[in-house]
Copies of this chain bind each other. A is one copy, B any other.
């Protein structure tokens, strides 16, 4: 037949279909934290048997999106305050390292794009929409760290972000006051990268930036514990 060498249509295995289906639902918040995942139901919905679904669930468990209890079942992971804090701390460590390692690889275009995003953020300081602002923030940082040549480090950064689930999209809903300061710090980070500052300075700047947001969050939610949380 005429087809050429592209006969391989690459049908996803059923486990992978289930995996993506569930992940999508979680991302869209159709399955909210605490939601009980019943294998048979999902299997029915996807027109397959429970075996592949089970496998998908185990994969998602390994990623931390789902918690699983023997003979009981799976539910979408809860992210409580304490988890939020530990995860954000991990992110502040690995993302700052990734950004520093990425700095020398960034192109002119990357920097332009990052600056553009930050300018949009600045322009939205009035008429503030926390969710949109968080999304832009996410995008800004992603541009800066995604050229990091250490693939494993990148994987960890991304996986920690997905671990946070929908909270990642609403950081500034908790601490709107940080927004202005955040934009300014972004500018500072861009400056350091552009003038090819030492990598450790870039790393420290990003870490300070994240730490600032986290501290603001902690002080806002738990003014009493603020001092008790260990930081770097």
Contact = CB atoms under 8 A, between A and B. Distances in A.
A230 B156 contact: no
B200 A104 contact: no
B153 A89 contact: yes
B90 A150 contact: yes
Contact of A156 (B90, B100, B101, B199): B90
Contact of A150 (B13, B89, B152): B89
A156 B199 CA distance: 23
A178 B149 CA distance: 26
A90 B95 CA distance: 11
A46 interface: no
Q: Is the interface of A mostly helix, strand, loop or mixed?
A: helix
A209 interface: no
Given A93-B93, A200-B232, A232-B100, A86 B152 contact: yes
Contacts of A203: 232
Given A58-B55, A62-B59, A70-B13, A230 B153 contact: no
Interface in A64-111: 70, 86-87, 89-90, 93-94, 97, 100-101, 104
A54 interface: yes
Interface string A167-201: 00000000000000000000000000000000110
Contacts of A55: 54-55, 58
A148 B109 CA distance: 40
A40 interface: no
A54 to B, nearest CB: 7
A139 interface: no
Interface string A31-47: 00000000000000000
Interface of A: 13, 51, 54-55, 58-59, 62-63, 70, 86-87, 89-90, 93-94, 97, 100-101, 104, 149-153, 156, 160, 199-200, 203, 230-232
21 contacts: A54-B55, A55-B55, A55-B58, A58-B58, A58-B59, A58-B62, A59-B62, A86-B151, A87-B152, A89-B150, A90-B150, A90-B153, A93-B93, A93-B94, A93-B153, A101-B230, A101-B232, A150-B230, A152-B160, A156-B156, A199-B231
